[in-house]
């Protein structure tokens, strides 16, 4: 899994999503863009990818598209409409773009997955919508994360777990709530 942390300026969301789809198809990877405010850290997205792939392998996926299934797990929700809040919109957005080679069904063999991910990441970085590549995950938006994942101040006070750990717990609970 590769991540591109950047700022996007999107004029036409449908065209941008189509561009990501074309790059993904060309390089045989899955690409999903997230509003960085809703991503706790890299581990959050790694867990979402792993759980989405497991659901797909078991035939328990909700979405037909792997990128959407990853979005659902990252959001900790089964409703696509609610999970889409975590995606990007028109205008300027601090973003994390995930690029991942689908290794399900390949019995752990990655082939040239790393090269495919790297090439796709470079193609995404070259899109006109990418106005700057810069860290977007260094300082998580704690207020947004707590609100989106319904983590209360009382819950945070009752544990020494990090906010990232609590977000990953919400992502993992999606498996239990199915």
Domain count for the chain, please give it. 1
Length of the chain: 178
Structure token pair of residue 61: 């996926």
Q: What is the pLDDT of residues 7-48, one digit of tens each?
A: 999 999 999 999 999 999 999 999 999 999 999 999 999 999
Look at residue 126 and give its three-state secondary structure: coil
Q: What is the pLDDT of residues 143-155, one digit of tens each?
A: 999 999 999 999 9
Structure token pair of residue 176: 């239990």
Query: Where does 75-133 show beta strands of DSSP type E?
Result: 91-100, 130-133
User: Residue 40 is part of which domain span?
Assistant: 2-176
Q: Using CA atoms in the order 163, 166, 172, 174, what is the torsion angle rounded to 10 degrees? A: -100
Q: What is the CATH number of the domain that holds 10?
A: 3.30.2380.10
Look at residue 109 and give its three-state secondary structure: coil
């Amino acid at each position: 899994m590769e991540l591109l942390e950047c700022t996007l300026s999107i004029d036409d969301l449908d065209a941008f999503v189509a561009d990501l789809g074309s790059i993904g198809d060309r390089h045989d990877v899955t690409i999903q863009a997230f509003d960085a405010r809703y991503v706790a850290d890299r581990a959050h997205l790694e867990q979402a990818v792993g759980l989405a792939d497991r659901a797909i392998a078991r035939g328990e996926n909700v979405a037909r598209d792997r990128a959407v299934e990853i979005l659902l797990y990252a959001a900790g929700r089964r409703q696509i409409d609610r999970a889409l809040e975590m995606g990007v919109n028109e205008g300027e957005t601090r973003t994390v773009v995930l690029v991942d080679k689908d290794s399900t069904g390949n019995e752990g063999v990655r082939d040239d997955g790393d090269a495919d991910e790297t090439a796709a990441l470079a193609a995404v970085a070259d899109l006109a919508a990418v106005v700057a590549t810069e860290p977007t995950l260094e300082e998580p938006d704690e207020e947004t994360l707590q609100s989106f994942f319904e983590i209360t101040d009382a819950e945070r006070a009752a544990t020494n777990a990090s906010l990232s750990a609590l977000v990953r717990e919400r992502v993992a609970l999606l498996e239990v709530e199915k």
